Structure 1
Amino acid sequence: MAPSVLQNGGFFLGLLGAAALIAATAMNKWSVKDRQGEIVTSVYTYKGLWQDCETTSSGLTECRPLYGLLGFSGTFQAVRALMIVGVVLGVLGAVTSVFSLTCLTMTSMEDSSKAKMSLTAGIMFIIAGVCGIAGASIYASQIVATFRMSTINNYEGNMMQGGMGGGMGGGMGGIPTYTFGPALFVAWIGGGVLLIGGILKSLAFRGMMKDGTPHYPGVAYKPQAHTKTDSDHHHSAGGKNYV
């Protein structure tokens, strides 16, 4: 495949993946309240990396910002850090990728420089994709662990109370459980797209270096032909007698 095709494909995929990571990081629906088993759903609760929000049945939404560093777990802070690093590297990779495109002509830039920039952008895309996938996966693992604990606690509470009344009271007043939000899937998809874009940019680097390798064809040396005039001049100069 031509290096230009790989470069253009990697650029568009990297740009799309970076935009997806930015959108996922800014979204508030990383985890949403599980409505399964609820009779009345007057309040819709969902959480993000920066805000916790509640939406009532009337459509009124209230959000509580999550400021500070000390009030949250290390895992939550790690997810934030991974997403921020992924966004920064994705944006920097997209900017670097623009200047490495072969269709963009710059008189002062050689093909080898563009190839190196293409490789740099590819590495940035790959690291950004890994950060996005890792951040979403860590957050998802926390949701799964919390969901299991909440389910077990609600089940034990229902068993202890017993009866129909106890079961209904325990189910409605138990610990709320949360499930995956759409932001997780956006982060996973964005990270995967960034990985593919980074791989394409890296492959384009190999093709550009191969095509840009200087070749020096062999030039046969031919001695200058001597004319008769040059030969006569040479003999006359050599035949002079010096006193």
Structure 2
Amino acid sequence: MSSMAREIMAFVLTTSGWVLVSSTLPTDYWKVSSIDGTVITTATFWSNLWKTCVTDSTGISNCKDFPSMLALDGYIQVCRGLMIAAVCLGFFGSVFALIGMKCTKVGGLDQTKARIVSFAGLNFVCTGLCSLTACSLYAHRITSEFFDPMYVAQKYELGAALFIGWAGSTLCILGGAVFCLSLSEGMSSSSPYPSDRKAFVTSGVSLMSRAAPQSQASHVRRPPPECISSSQQFDKNAYV
């Protein structure tokens, strides 16, 4: 697979992962109330990073935004910060990837474009790690409360937003790693001499090697013209 096709595939992976990570922020179902051990369910509780809601048996939902940011639990504040950082890093990574890809006409030389693409790949890897950490931290809190026998409040299960965030994080990390490999390929393919200059140097070396025997033959000592003329006269008198 050529480097250009590899970069296009990495861009599709990272962009898709960034879209999935961004879609988890407005998604409602980060955690859903568990119905384990209950026969009749009259209400369903669910919440995300911004609000908590309840849906009754008739399908009517009532939501309440978190009243204070400072009064929130610490893990929710950390998850908010990590997800916002992931979205921002993914945005800048997409911009740098468009500039540094070989299929675009901006970015300068191939060596410079390789560095830009590798920087974009680093942004996407950080995007995936931030989102992966936020989703895993939120899921750890849910599972620890669910399996704690001393926890008597409402227990929750993993929501759909967590699985979407994990999938998007995986795509961002894979695509970002492929982008980071472009730096080594760009540095190895680049040369301090252009291709035409290399051809000129090669042709010059071949011409010098061909001209070497001729120059050596030109330095061979020849007899003086007086000796040549006397020998020619001697040859003529020999036959008289």
**TM-score, normalised via structure 2 length:** 0.78
1:182 to 148, 156, 160: 160
1:191 — aligned with what? 169
1:115 — aligned with what? 114
2:130 — aligned with what? 131
The superposition leaves residues 161-208 of structure 1 with CA deviations (integer Å, 9 ceiling, x where unpaired) of xxxxxxxxxxxxxx3210111111111111111000100101122222
1:147 — aligned with what? 146
Q: Which has the higher mean CA deviation after the structures are superposed, 59-68 or 16-25?
A: 59-68
How far off is 1:124 after superposition? 0.2
Aligned residues: 201
Q: Which has the higher mean CA deviation after the structures are superposed, 121-130 or 207-216?
A: 207-216
Query: Are 1:55 and 2:68 an aligned pair?
Result: no
Measure the CA separation in 2 of the matches of 1:67 and 1:15. 34
1:239 — aligned with what? none
Give the conservation status (yes or no) of the 8 Å contact 1:6–1:203: no
1:205 to 183, 186, 206: 183
CA RMSD, Structure 1 to Structure 2 (Å):
1.9
After the TM superposition, which parts of structure 1 deviate over 6 Å for at least 4 consecutive aligned residues? Answer: none
The letter for the 1-side match of 2:177 is I
How far off is 1:153 after superposition? 4.7
Percent identity of the aligned residues? 26
Matches within 5 A, 1:14-163: 14-106=14-106, 109-149=108-148, 151-153=149-151
- Asked which structure has the greater CA Rg, the reply is 2
SS at match of 1:25: coil
Give the conservation status (yes or no) of the 8 Å contact 2:145–2:151: no
Q: Which runs of 5+ in 2 are unaligned?
A: 212-240
Measure the CA separation in 2 of the matches of 1:213 and 1:180. 53
Q: Which has the higher mean CA deviation after the structures are superposed, 191-200 or 39-48?
A: 39-48
Q: Which has the higher mean CA deviation after the structures are superposed, 202-211 or 2-11?
A: 202-211
Q: Which runs of 5+ in 1 are unaligned?
A: 155-174, 224-243
